[in-house]
Structure 1
């Protein structure tokens, strides 16, 4: 399977099919023009990035996974048929929290140690109860053996969603509004805005190997305002730093206020700033805290060693 086909299939799964959008959800003119401007840039050369000035913890680290049960987590399931998730009128109700949660999220032993198991068949999320701000989150994940994608081109897909707020299922009946540290084969570390009122800014370059509008994170690149369900709704990771299927990967998420840094296996792959929500009066309000979600989105996934420690500053990304 070629790389472009994989990304196209994953994008379709993530709701890029414009026929599902209402008139109010069509791409905003400003983001469309910006996407076209990026696509008019010359192709960017690959960057080799490294992380410097890692912050020291300002307090003790704590485990978000106790290794025994899901007492600190809440499960939520979307529609029984994930294929209707991005439709304006899915014709069914979300499963929610009442039924069959234990069939989709559990604590099991893998590689001789306890881990969180996410089945991935029905889309939804496992949400931690803690409201977090100014932190360094570290976790390990690896793919399981099963995938539930409806098309051959779909990559294994999951996600670490942070600054989660609002009601369960508020986004497509399946997730809460948040910012996503994408976990997807070939795209781990991608930035995604989850929810129509979530905003973020980052810097990008033109990459013709991606689907339109060809946005890949680039240190010192063109700044874009990320808006869900527009051409700037997600920005690909600067580089694919994931290990082969079957191996454990380490993700580091650094968050201070309305800024964040995404790191995959020690490699910085994206920075994001000006995280915000659009208030009912239309004003942009900083998004600085929230819960985390571990997605269920089509692939069996294992998570372990989930820790968080307080910090007051972000590390920096520099070019080698």
Structure 2
């Protein structure tokens, strides 16, 4: 079997697996059974004459051949979708940019950037998705997003070990802070000493799979008492405003902080710096994606 015999369905399934990281997640996203996904992958591997996936206990990883196939699969699928739109008499989407972003970026930064882009380039359509850093990196590799806003913590390792290396632009580097209720004893000063974090009641995101425990001060020298869990950062901040506990927050969230909350620096211990990165595959960006990247840079300065 030659690779020219590969079906469009198998290419779509393969790109979904590359993006989701597991056969099960891809099957759920596509509405297929896992065995159907496995059959499509096996068919594509026969056509390619090479293994495209390395099966591991925590999911799948693309082989070198898999990276080649997923890159070209994205191009083929986009071309076929564009042809289908044209045949149906729908407007083309050449003015489209796709952005992935981490959770707290959606509270202030992403809306601010999109609003500015609409004013300056109203013909550009932006499609966005929220995700964890590993999920967004997979989406970049699979060609499902053009740009990804991700956060990075020390020691600032590469986002993945695949080749080619992703291009990373540091948009900002800021210190992590603590959000406390205005009625809290810690709110009386202009900073919090790290020793005063002992015994606090924390509001954090639930830990699951590849996600970190977000909301608890890093390096805390005791088992944290987590009294509320929430993935949504605004929900965490409103719980803080209600006096339910404390949580961590980045300075970029300041415009979204509700009344009743004070955001304070923490002194003592190692500095907890966070980098905001714009990640993409190497090579030239499309004009819409380049315009979106510029709008994000401008929004960073304004927020």
> TM-score, normalization: structure 2?
0.21
Q: Which has the higher contact order (CA 8 A, sep 6+)?
A: 1
Larger radius of gyration: 2
> TM-score, normalization: structure 1?
0.20
Task: Report the structure, 1 or 2, having the larger helix content.
Answer: 2
